[in-house]
Chains A and B, each alone.
Chain A
């Protein structure tokens, strides 16, 4: 299926029994990379990202049947990915507490553990700085900085007012700047 098809055409294909799978395949092919990076920026590790992304795409398959087009497909899929990612992070935190694992890696440690990590490069320091932020602020920063998402779309996705998101983004940018300068 043509990846350049608009969401309406892809959804129409999905809702047609004869082209359901083609419609789904087209949606996955179109959005898989964006969703992957959205999750990976939060989870750092490719393996964790892969697990969560697969869960997200299965949920998309299950949920598309009842998807109401009062929100954009892109926003709806991002919301599923965001929820699954935050759930995964919470589980990781609980697992570390329950197992009393003192050596449990923080996400900052995971950045440093990456095979290509180079602390002399600014792009790696930026990742460390982002991981020092609270999760919600990381999300806002990533969606705006990397995905270049408009505030109104982010507002729909995170169920937060545009003003609050803007303030959060600016606050995050300042904290990152301070982190990098003091590193």
Chain B
């Protein structure tokens, strides 16, 4: 470095000692340092902008280390290819499974669609006495022959029972 005249004269005026000193720096800079500095600084600016963005939105996240907890196994085991798993389900097997599932869905649909629903509201609100009067005696007798017989004790004869019904009416 060559000092300009003003500074040189200034020092010379102070002491002739300064004419013996060279103003070069003895320190050494690592090779290519100045060539790479800009890209390092640019990367740092980018990192800082990411940090500052998060600091505004969720500062807590900036206090958490960015390392993930996941670890890579030391011994690398051979990974089973995905295609091998898929081969367990061949096309014929998949077709049968699909047909079975389809049949089950169809049966279920038919069963539920045929099931009669009971209108309990209409039942409760109906005039039962009037309904019974529209039914003929023969129909009622036939009904009782079929259903009531099952609860009648064997000691009571049909004749006695008939008399009981007639007396009740």
Contacts of A25 in B (CB 8 A): 38
- Contact indicator B34/A121 (Cβ below 8 Å): no
* Minimum Cβ distance to chain B for residue A101 (Å): 24
Of B3, B14, B24, B33, the residue contacting A123 (CB under 8 A) is B24
Q: Decide yes or no whether A181 CB sits under 8 A from chain B.
A: yes
B2-28 interface with A by 8 A CB criterion: 3-4, 7, 11, 14-15, 17-18, 20-28
- Contact indicator A41/B37 (Cβ below 8 Å): no
Of B7, B17, B25, B27, the residue contacting A177 (CB under 8 A) is B17
Given the known inter-chain contacts A122-B22, A148-B3, A173-B11, please indicate yes or no for A53 contacting B37, CB distance below 8 A.
yes
* Minimum Cβ distance to chain B for residue A107 (Å): 13
- Contact indicator A127/B37 (Cβ below 8 Å): no
Contacts of B42 in A (CB 8 A): 21
Contacts of A53 in B (CB 8 A): 37
Q: Which residues of B contact A (CB under 8 A)?
A: 1, 3-4, 7, 11, 14-15, 17-18, 20-30, 33-34, 37-38, 40-42, 44-45, 48
Q: How far is the CA of A177 from the CA of B17 in the complex (A)?
A: 7
Q: Decide yes or no whether A153 CB sits under 8 A from chain B.
A: no
Of A61, A121, A144, the residue contacting B26 (CB under 8 A) is A121
A-B contact count (CB 8 A): 79
- Between A and B, 13 residue pairs with Cβ closer than 8 Å are A25-B38, A50-B33, A53-B37, A54-B37, A61-B45, A114-B27, A116-B27, A117-B26, A145-B23, A148-B4, A173-B15, A177-B14, A177-B17
Of B3, B14, B37, B41, the residue contacting A170 (CB under 8 A) is B14
Given the known inter-chain contacts A53-B37, A122-B20, A148-B4, please indicate yes or no for A46 contacting B15, CB distance below 8 A.
no
Q: How far is the CA of A61 from the CA of B33 in the complex (A)?
A: 20
Q: How far is the CA of A180 from the CA of B3 in the complex (A)?
A: 20
Q: How far is the CA of A26 from the CA of B43 in the complex (A)?
A: 16
Q: How far is the CA of A3 from the CA of B80 in the complex (A)?
A: 58
Contacts of A126 in B (CB 8 A): 21
Most B C-beta atoms less than 10 A away, residue of A54, A121, A180: A54
- Contact indicator A29/B22 (Cβ below 8 Å): no
A28-84 interface with B by 8 A CB criterion: 28-29, 32-33, 36-37, 40-41, 44, 46, 50, 53-54, 57-58, 61
Interface residues on chain A, number (Cβ under 8 Å): 38
Given the known inter-chain contacts A40-B27, A122-B20, A148-B7, please indicate yes or no for A54 contacting B38, CB distance below 8 A.
no
* Minimum Cβ distance to chain B for residue A129 (Å): 10
Given the known inter-chain contacts A54-B44, A145-B7, A173-B14, please indicate yes or no for A46 contacting B29, CB distance below 8 A.
yes
- Contact indicator A36/B28 (Cβ below 8 Å): no
Q: How far is the CA of A180 from the CA of B30 in the complex (A)?
A: 28
- Contact indicator B44/A116 (Cβ below 8 Å): no
- Contact indicator A173/B34 (Cβ below 8 Å): no
Q: How far is the CA of A37 from the CA of B14 in the complex (A)?
A: 25
* Minimum Cβ distance to chain B for residue A59 (Å): 10
* Minimum Cβ distance to chain A for residue B22 (Å): 6
Q: How far is the CA of A37 from the CA of B27 in the complex (A)?
A: 9
Contacts of B28 in A (CB 8 A): 46, 115-116
- Contact indicator B26/A58 (Cβ below 8 Å): no
Q: How far is the CA of A121 from the CA of B24 in the complex (A)?
A: 12
Contacts of B23 in A (CB 8 A): 145-146
